[in-house]
Amino acid sequence: MPRESGTSRRAFLRDGALMAGALVLGQSKVWTQVFHGPFGEAVKRIDPDCTLTIAEIEWELSPKKKIRTSTYNGQVPGPLLRVTEGKPVAIDIANKLDHPEIVHWHGQWIPVAADGSMEEGSPMLPAEGRSLVQFVPKPAGLHWYHTHAMAHRDLKRGLYSGQFGVLLVEGRENPGAYDQEQFIVLHDWEPYYVASGDGSLMVNYVCGSVNGKMLGHDEPIKVRESERVLFHILNASATEPHWLTLPGHRFQVLALDGAPVATQARVELLRLGPAERITALVEMNAPGVWVLGETRRDYRDAGMGTVIEYAGRTGKPEEPRDFKLAWDYKTFGDTTPKNFTPDVTIPLVFTSKFKGHGALDQWMINSKSYPDVSLPALRQGLRHRLIFENRSTDDHPVHLHRHNFELVSIRGTPVSGVRKDVVIVEAGATVEADLVANNPGNTLFHCHQQDHMDSGFMALFKYA
């Protein structure tokens, strides 16, 4: 399974099918074992369904751009894991790196021990260590797995690396009738620090990729006229939001962060903050050769795009035009927002502390940085209204582990029917979201920008 370098789109999908067939079995000694059932109870160890090996490789983004990075199973993205909701899985994880690692199952409502967050209490995987993680996938939808290790100032670690992959949890209900499905995984590479517009350091990147390849260096996605293509799109960037378009086509958004939306609106432009996912259906009714990619030209020039090729069509791909960058979660909510009454209200105010033009800001929630942030305990079964108030000049894609939440207002405008586990709280904005506490155990809340979470933007919810 491990490769030395480049994996094609076909191979990426094939590997996913192999994982679905659950055949890769690790035979090495298990150093750390984590066995948990759906409610955290200890269960008997089962044979692993697959193995993830974390190791550093040379990866070819294009013939002229090769990088060294750590990956899962020697490929970028890691193998597509297709699992069934409610059917237990066991995953053998081998860490071939010289430092501890941890794998987070992003979007899954699973016990702390399996979730993959050191802050919650999940065990780290030691250097050269091995562990077996076992959980019952839930909920269905497009999710992902990725390293949850800190990077701090090492821009080769954490999500700056190639340690990410798609976890597709298939439910009983099909998300919609379609002829083929495609996975689109965005990532930015070769990070470096630059001065930001508001005066502190920020991370920028040399290049970007879709499914581990720069634009023009992967096989085109082949489609036929009138086909309905289901796109599973994940932004696995450590820090960058991305805006995607496919000229001449519209995306019918079916789900956000794996959760079906109330209104399946058709839009030309998709915004995905770091860690956000969109499941969208596209009717292929504009024959030609197109670039599905970043609407911003500079990002496409840096590699963020892939080619969609209709059968019988050739030629230079047509690139997206510039769009006014606008996105509103409310587009996908109930036409008439429902009104919920919370049992508990929890304000979460985001601010930063300036540490110099040559330093990263220190981030705070309610005036404290992790681990000093103190939050009220969650009470099982109650509806908690989280009030995200962003008093900083940065947008923040905030993420809640092991749960999701339903948006109830954005900048004071009511919304319902949009459930997320990551939401971008724009600079100066307030977003309210309701969390029904139904998965006891420590629950990490953090900004999914790697540099922000490394600089204090995290807090731990505990259950009463």
Partner 1 sequence: MRRQLVKGIDLNRAVHSPIRGAQLKSVFTFLAGTLVLCAGEQMRAQGNYEIQVYGADTVAPRSTMLELHSNFTAEGHPALDGVAATNHAEHETVEITQGINDWSEVGFYIFTSEQSGLGMQWVGDHIRPRVRVPEKWRWPVGVSLSMEFGYQRAKFSPDTWTWEIRPIVDKTVGRWYFAVNPALERTWHGPDVNQGIGLAPAAKISYDFTKKITGGFEYYADYGSITSISSLRNQQQQLFPAIDLNVSPDWEINFGAGIGPTAATDHWIVKAIVGRHFNWGHKG
Select from 324, 339, 341, 412 the one that contacts partner 1 (CB under 8 A). Answer: 324
Interface stretch with partner 1, choices 167-175, 197-205, 285-293, 416-424 (CB under 8 A) = 197-205
Residue 32 or residue 362: which is nearer to partner 1 going by CB?
Answer: 362
Report which of 164, 225, 226 is spatially closest to residue 189, judged by C-alpha positions: 164
Q: Is 429 in the site for partner 1 (CB under 8 A)?
A: no
Per the structure block, which two tokens stand in for 91?
Answer: 């995953």
Interface stretch with partner 1, choices 6-14, 184-192, 220-228, 402-410 (CB under 8 A) = 184-192
Q: Is 12 helix (H, G, I), strand (E, B) or coil?
A: helix
Q: Is 208 in the site for partner 1 (CB under 8 A)?
A: yes
Residue 207 or residue 436: which is nearer to partner 1 going by CB?
Answer: 207
Interface stretch with partner 1, choices 159-167, 173-181, 292-300, 440-448 (CB under 8 A) = 292-300
Q: Least distance in Å: CB of 353 to partner 1? A: 9
Measured distance CA(403)–CA(464) in Å, rounded: 16
Those residues whose C-beta lies under 8 Å from the C-beta of residue 364, and which sit 6 or more positions away, are 350, 351, 352, 353, 373, 456, 457
Task: Give strand ranges (E) for 200-299.
Answer: 201-210, 221-223, 228-235, 242-245, 251-256, 259-260, 266-267, 269-272, 277-283, 289-294
Interface stretch with partner 1, choices 123-131, 320-328, 368-376, 418-426 (CB under 8 A) = 320-328
Give CA separation, 264 vs 176, 225, 228, in Å. 11, 22, 15
Residue 115 or residue 361: which is nearer to partner 1 going by CB?
Answer: 361
Select from 357, 379, 391, 462 the one that contacts partner 1 (CB under 8 A). Answer: 357
Select from 23, 326, 377, 464 the one that contacts partner 1 (CB under 8 A). Answer: 326
Residue 106 or residue 157: which is nearer to partner 1 going by CB?
Answer: 157
Sheet-wide strand order for 130-135? 32-35, 130-135, 89-95, 50-62, 65-72
Q: Is 199 in the site for partner 1 (CB under 8 A)?
A: yes
Q: Is 16 helix (H, G, I), strand (E, B) or coil?
A: helix
Interface stretch with partner 1, choices 40-48, 312-320, 354-362, 410-418 (CB under 8 A) = 354-362
Residue 116 or residue 241: which is nearer to partner 1 going by CB?
Answer: 241
Residue 264 or residue 362: which is nearer to partner 1 going by CB?
Answer: 362
Report which of 205, 162, 208 is spatially closest to residue 300, judged by C-alpha positions: 208
Measured distance CA(65)–CA(128) in Å, rounded: 29
Select from 164, 183, 299, 388 the one that contacts partner 1 (CB under 8 A). Answer: 299
Q: Is 359 in the site for partner 1 (CB under 8 A)?
A: yes
Residues in region 44-103 near partner 1 by CB under 8 A:
none
Per the structure block, which two tokens stand in for 384?
Answer: 């908690």
Residue 30 or residue 202: which is nearer to partner 1 going by CB?
Answer: 202
Residue 255 or residue 360: which is nearer to partner 1 going by CB?
Answer: 360
Q: Is 430 exposed, middle or buried (0-12, 13-18, 19+ CB in 10 A)?
A: middle
Q: Least distance in Å: CB of 321 to partner 1? A: 10
Those residues whose C-beta lies under 8 Å from the C-beta of residue 32, and which sit 6 or more positions away, are 123, 125, 126, 129, 130, 131, 132
Report which of 105, 51, 106 is spatially closest to residue 399, judged by C-alpha positions: 106
Those residues whose C-beta lies under 8 Å from the C-beta of residue 163, and which sit 6 or more positions away, are 54, 70, 71, 72, 78, 101, 103, 146, 147
Select from 14, 96, 222, 296 the one that contacts partner 1 (CB under 8 A). Answer: 296
Give CA separation, 418 vs 333, 343, 421, in Å. 5, 20, 10
Residue 117 or residue 392: which is nearer to partner 1 going by CB?
Answer: 392
Residue 25 or residue 325: which is nearer to partner 1 going by CB?
Answer: 325
Per the structure block, which two tokens stand in for 438?
Answer: 């139904």
Interface stretch with partner 1, choices 15-23, 26-34, 167-175, 351-359 (CB under 8 A) = 351-359
Interface stretch with partner 1, choices 23-31, 109-117, 199-207, 448-456 (CB under 8 A) = 199-207
Half-sphere exposure at residue 339, Cβ-oriented, CA atoms within 13 angstroms? 0
Number of residues that bind partner 1 (CB under 8 A): 34
**Residues making up the chain, counted from first to last:** 464
Q: Is 302 in the site for partner 1 (CB under 8 A)?
A: yes
Q: Between 223 and 262, how does the x/- string for binding to partner 1 read (CB under 8 A)?
A: --------------------x-------------------
Rule CB under 8 A: which residues touch partner 1? 188, 190, 192-200, 202, 204-208, 243, 296, 298-299, 301-302, 322-326, 354-359
